Amino acid sequence: MLELRPNCERCGKDLPAEAADAMICSFECTFCRDCVETRLAQRCPNCGGNLVPRPIRPAAALAKYPASTTRVFKPA
Ligand SMILES: [Zn+2]
Ligand SMILES: [Zn+2]
């Protein structure tokens, strides 16, 4: 199950579970679309993998399986 991390690892922007601009790699390193397009050249800086839009968990499922609240922040 996806953790749904609460922020962009690069700039710290909040990315709540319903954020449409959250992007993740296969390890769930999480970034905002702005960082992915302007700073990261579409690649995860941690693992080199591609980044794809994070799916949005429906509200009913989110109540049962809440998003992570653990912030991961590694500015460049
Ligand atoms: Zn960002
Ligand atoms: Zn990664």
Nearest ligand by distance to the CA of 50 = 2
Percent of the chain with pLDDT over 90: 99
Euclidean distance between CA atoms 52 and 35, whole angstroms = 13
Residues 6+ apart with CB under 8 A from 29: 9, 44, 45, 46, 47, 51, 72
Tokens of 55: 């799916």
* % of the chain at pLDDT higher than 70: 100
Ligand positioned closest to the Cα atom of 44: 2
| Span 29-47, pLDDT tens digits | 999 999 999 999 999 999 9
Structure confidence at residue 26 (pLDDT): 98
What is the CA(12)–ligand 1 centre distance, in A?
A: 6
